[in-house]
Amino acid sequence: MIQSKPVYYFDNNATTRVAPEVVDSMVPFLRELWGNPSSAYGFGAQVHGHLEKARAQVASLIHAEPKEVVFTSCGTESNNSAFSSALSLNPTKKHIVTTAVEHSANINFGEHLQKRGFDVTFLPVESDGQLDLHQLEKSIRPDTALVSVMMANNETGVLFPIAEIAALCRSRGVLSHTDAVQVPGKLKLDVRELGVDFLSLSAHKLHAPKGVGMLYVKRRTRYQPYVIGGHQERGRRGGTESVANIVAFGRAADLAQASLHDENTRVRALRDRLENFILTRIPNTVRNGHRDHRLPNTVNIAFDFVEAEAVLLLLDQLGICASSGSACTTGSLDPSHVLMAMGLPPMRARGSVRFSLGIYNTDADVDFLCRHLPPIIQKLRDISPLNPGHPDNDQYDIAKARADHEREQAAEKALEAISA
């Protein structure tokens, strides 16, 4: 056992614990059934059978047909593949519509496409994280190849009306994709009801291992592979399938359907208890994101007058895991692009922390966090020059302090850029 200290895990949107049942399901494919599923002999065919069983399990999670499931290496690859296919099969179409609050898998790929001569519209969002559908409709052009809007935001949990967006796209003859990586196990997923052409999932967000994802490609939607190689995945994704991981994904898909109720009752209640505690017991706190149109497990809170990184450091000393944004952008000095797109002042975005709960969280976990969070915030505010209650700050002008601080940060960034 590598990890011996207890961990209070509130970062389930970053990744999830692999369920013990899922670990058990994959072991035979590491020990005994290690053949290549594409091999013609019986030993390979046997493995192939399990691969197809997992495909059916994952298809059932999203109410798709098994043939519509293409296994990939991760959610990022699935998203990149949908963009790439839509553009390469429609060479006269050079435009993609997405949002400013997507995961970096889309934001950075969109910027990469812009550098290669494509046009990408990053739609803004409202202050509660929601999208203006009229603006989305207006942004669709005759040369739009794809509209890609995430189903649930990984930082705030805010949900987007994907069925409405897909219907709009259909009426305009445009392909639609949704990054639903944060949704399985938390909310029902039905591709027939959603009506999208493409949908991405990632196994490690639903209690399966990292290294496997899925792209749903709707029947009769033309598809150009992104990873080109062998004829695996019916010619839609080259590379020998990661069988143990895929089997695990299938088992986790079954478990996710079974845990839907728990996520929407017990986990939701734990999240609400934590959120109510913070907002009522810790002054100068604000929830980021719409209160109702949100995943049941996610809460994102701005703690004024503190830096989230300092809060996370002190929480970490107690074994409490949370985050200040996407795990993929941790380490960046910039405030969260999601919170900035929602119009938060940079200081408030820098003081925002995401707690994302899951099926393994207990009442005792939330009690532990509620016991330790207020003194941590207090301790940091006591030494924060941004705090109007700071003893040295009787005449403290918070607006000026913020402006000064932001100017300093901008100067530091400019210096870094020059010396880079």
Ligand X SMILES: Cc1ncc(COP(=O)(O)O)c(C=O)c1O
As annotated, the active-site residues are 328
The CB-nearest residue to ligand X is 75
Rank residues 82 and 150 by Cβ distance to ligand X and give the closer one: 150
Q: Please state the closest distance from residue 150 (CB atom) to ligand X, in A.
A: 5
Q: Which residues pair with 120 in a beta bridge?
A: 96
The interface with ligand X within residues 195-214 (CB under 6 A) comprises 202, 204, 213
Of the pair 174, 215, the CB lying nearest ligand X is at: 215
Residue 207 beta carbon to ligand X: minimum distance, rounded to whole angstroms = 14
Per the DSSP assignment, residues forming a β-bridge with 299 are: 355
CB of 210 to ligand X, least distance (A): 7
Interface segment toward ligand X; rule CB under 6 A; list 16-24, 29-37, 69-77, 160-168: 69-77
Residue type for position 355: F
The residue from 98, 99, 182, 232 that contacts ligand X (CB under 6 A) is 182
Relative to beta strand 144-148, strand 175-179 is parallel
Shortest Å distance, C-beta 205 to ligand X: 7
Q: Which of 179, 233, 241, 275 binds ligand X (CB under 6 A)?
A: 179
Q: Is 237 in the site for ligand X (CB under 6 A)?
A: no
Cα–Cα nearest to 129, from 164, 154, 93: 154
| Residue 61: CB minimum distance to ligand X, A | 16
Which residue has 């196994």 as its token pair?
Answer: 203
The stretch among 56-64, 92-100, 133-141, 178-186 that binds ligand X (CB under 6 A) is: 178-186
Q: Which residues pair with 187 in a beta bridge?
A: none
Is residue 150 within the footprint of ligand X (CB under 6 A)?
yes
Identify which range of 25-33, 176-184, 286-294, 374-382 contacts ligand X by CB under 6 A: 176-184
Find the shortest distance in angstroms from Cβ 239 to ligand X. 16
User: 148 with 178: CB under 8 angstroms?
Assistant: yes
Beta-sheet pairing, 95-99 with 119-123: parallel
Q: How many residues bind ligand X (CB under 6 A)?
A: 15
Is residue 289 a contact partner of residue 348, using CB atoms and an 8 Å limit?
no
In terms of CB distance, is 182 or 324 closer to ligand X? Answer: 182
Is 300 a residue that touches ligand X (CB under 6 A)?
A: no
H helices then E strands: how many in the chain?
Answer: 15, 12
Sheet holding 213-217, edge to edge: 69-72, 213-217, 198-202, 175-179, 144-148, 95-99, 119-123
DSSP 169: H
Of how many residues is the chain composed? 420
Contact between 77 and 242 (Cβ < 8 Å): no
d(CA 355, CA 67): 36
The rounded distance, in Å, linking the Cα atoms of 374 and 280 is: 11
Residue nearer to ligand X on the CB measure, 251 or 381: 251
Q: Of residues 328-367, which lie at the interface with ligand X (CB under 6 A)?
A: 328
Binds ligand X (CB under 6 A): choice among 16, 99, 156, 326: 326
φ, ψ at 41 (rounded to 5°): -75, 170
Which of 69, 74, 256, 344 is close enough to bind ligand X by CB under 6 A? 74
Chain positions 105 to 144 lying near ligand X, rule: CB under 6 A, are 105
Nearest-angstrom CA–CA distance, 106 and 179: 9
- Of 109 and 305, CB closest to ligand X: 109
The H or E element spanning position 373 is helix 363-382
Binding to ligand X (CB under 6 A) within 84-103 occurs at 103
**Min separation Cβ 202 and ligand X, Å:** 3
- 181 binds ligand X per the rule CB under 6 A: yes
34: number of Cβ within 10 Å = 12
What is residue 336's DSSP assignment? P
The footprint of ligand X (CB under 6 A) covers 74-76, 103, 105, 150, 154, 179, 181-182, 202, 204, 213, 326, 328
